[in-house]
Amino acid sequence: MGSTGKLNSSSSELDLDRPNIEDYLPSGSSIQQEPHGKLRLRDLLDISPTLSEAAGAIVDDSFTRCFKSNPPEPWNWNVYLFPLWCFGVVVRYLVLFPARVLVLTIGWIIFLSSFIPVHFLLKGHDKWRKKIERFLVEIICSFFVASWTGVVKYHGPRPSIRPKQVFVANHTSMIDFIILEQMTAFAVIMQKHPGWVGLLQSTILESVGCIWFNRSEAKDREIVAKKLRDHVQGADNNPLLIFPEGTCVNNHYTVMFKKGAFELGCTVCPVAIKYNKIFVDAFWNSRKQSFTMHLLQLMTSWAVVCDVWYLEPQTLRPGETPIEFAERVRDIISVRAGLKKVPWDGYLKYSRPSPKHRERKQQNFADSVLRRLEEK
C-alpha cells in the first residue's frame, strides 16, 4: 500500500461514472447513518459496521443471486404422482425427444441443401443471395424452436431493416438469439465459442453479418467497436442485435449493460425476453453445462414458453451520457420483463472486482473521519 493517488484501472469497462452501488443495496445493509460529533477512540475501535457488511456479503449477495439456477421442486413423491411422472419421463425421452431430433435433422437437411448451393452459385448476385440466405437462416431457427416445442409470443411491431439502429435484449441463454432470429434475421455480436458452435458461427452466421469478439482480449475492444460502427452505418446490413449484459443471467435479474451499444450514435430498440419457468428453466449456466447439454435438456423438456416484447425505440437524450442511456434502457427492459436490476458488471463472473469499489468505500470513510477531526 502507500500509493497515493495513482489508481490503475484493471479494466476500462469499470468506469467511475457508473451508477452508485449504494442505491441498489437493500437499505439495511448500506452504510450506517453518518456519524457525527467529535472523533473519539471508540470510532476507530468500532469496526462493527464494516465487518457486518463483510459478513452480510458472505451470507447473501446480489451478484451470486443473478446466476443461481434453482432446480425445480420435485413433485413426484407419492404413490400416484410417481407413476405419472415416470410416464411423463417416458413420453419426453422416448416419444418427444426422437420426434424432435427427427424434426431438427429434416430441418438441417433442407437448410444445408439450399444454403450451400445458394451460397456458391449466387456468388455474383449478392442482393438475391443475401435475401435467400436471410430467409434460410430464419427457417433453420424456426426448426430449432420447433425442436423444443417453443411457444413464443411476440408483442409489438416487428423489427424493420433500417440503417442506424441497433437492437438490445436481456440475455438468458444462447437460445435468445435463435428465438429472435426466427422472426428477423439479425446480425449479432457474440463471443467466439469453441466446438460445433464455433463452426456454425464461422460459416452460416457469417452470412448474416455477425461480429465476433473474444472476452479475454483487451485490445479486441477497439477492433470490435469499429466493426460495430461500420456495420450500423451500412444501409444494406441486417439489423444488429446486441446483448449488452455480456453474459447469461438467470432471467430474474439484469446486470449492468455495457455502454458499447449505446454510444454508436443510433437509435436503440429494446427487446425484452421473459421465459416461463413452469415448463423449463431456460437459463444457460455456462459454468455448469456445455451448450450441447443445455440443448439436450431443452429437447427433453415439455416446452419452452416465452414472451418477447419489441419495445419503443429510444435515442440518446440531450445531455445524457451513454451510461445513463444504457441504464435507462435497462430500466425499460427490466420493467417490461419483470426483472430486478443489480448494479454489478456481468464480467465479474470471470474476473475479480477492480480495486475501485473498495477505494470508494475507503474514501467515504476517510472523508468522514477527517471531517470529524476538524469538528472540535
Partner 1 sequence: MLTQYDIEEVQEHCNNLFSQHEIVSLYQRFCQLDRNAKGFIPADEFLSVPEYAMNPLSQVVYFEGCHGIWKRLLKMEDGLNFKDFVAFLSAFSAKASTNQKIEHFRTFSIKGFQIWLLDNSEICTVVYPTKCCMVYDSDSNGKVSLNDILEVLRDLSGAFMSAEQREEILSHVQQEAGYSKSSYLKLDDFIKVLGHSGLKMDVEVPVD
Binds partner 1 by CB under 8 A, chosen from 3, 8, 33, 78: 3
How many residues bind partner 1 (CB under 8 A)? The answer is: 53
Which DSSP letter does residue 92 get? I
Is residue 361 within the footprint of partner 1 (CB under 8 A)? Answer: yes
Round the CA-based radius of gyration of the chain to a whole number and report it.
24
By C-beta, is 40 or 125 nearer to partner 1?
Answer: 40
C-alpha 100/C-alpha 121 separation (Å) is 31
Element (H, E) at 177: helix 175-181
Binds partner 1 by CB under 8 A, chosen from 81, 109, 116, 369: 369
Treating both helix axes as pointing N-terminal to C-terminal, what angle do 126-147 and 195-207 enclose, rounded to 10 degrees?
Answer: 140
Binds partner 1 by CB under 8 A, chosen from 9, 15, 40, 162: 40
By C-beta, is 81 or 370 nearer to partner 1?
Answer: 370
By C-beta, is 202 or 351 nearer to partner 1?
Answer: 351
Dig out the grid coordinates for 291 from the structure. Answer: 451448450
Residue 247: left (phi > 0), alpha (psi -120 to 50), or beta?
A: beta
Least distance in angstroms from the C-beta of 353 to partner 1 = 5
Is residue 235 within the footprint of partner 1 (CB under 8 A)? Answer: no
Least distance in angstroms from the C-beta of 229 to partner 1 = 31
By C-beta, is 64 or 113 nearer to partner 1?
Answer: 64
Bridge partners, 270 (sequence order)? 168
C-alpha 90/C-alpha 1 separation (Å) is 62
Residue 300 Cα to chain centre, angstroms: 24
DSSP string, 124-146: S-HHHHHHHHHHHHHHHHHHHHH
By C-beta, is 12 or 160 nearer to partner 1?
Answer: 12
Is residue 348 within the footprint of partner 1 (CB under 8 A)? Answer: yes
Task: Please say whether the beta carbons of 344 and 255 come within 8 A.
Answer: yes
Handedness of CA 339, 64, 248, 191 (dihedral sign): positive
Restricting to residues 55-114, name those near partner 1 by CB under 8 A: 55-64, 68
Least distance in angstroms from the C-beta of 341 to partner 1 = 15
Dig out the grid coordinates for 336 from the structure. Answer: 417490461
* Candidates 2-10, 90-98, 217-225, 321-329; binding stretch for partner 1 (CB under 8 A): 2-10
Task: Please say whether the beta carbons of 332 and 314 come within 8 A.
Answer: yes
* Candidates 48-56, 164-172, 310-318, 320-328; binding stretch for partner 1 (CB under 8 A): 48-56
Binds partner 1 by CB under 8 A, chosen from 53, 138, 307, 331: 53
The SS3 call for residue 254 is: strand
* Candidates 35-43, 179-187, 225-233, 243-251; binding stretch for partner 1 (CB under 8 A): 35-43
Instruction: Give the footprint of partner 1 on this chain (CB under 8 A).
Output: 1-5, 7, 25, 28, 38-64, 68, 287, 344, 348, 352-353, 357-359, 361-363, 365-367, 369-370, 373
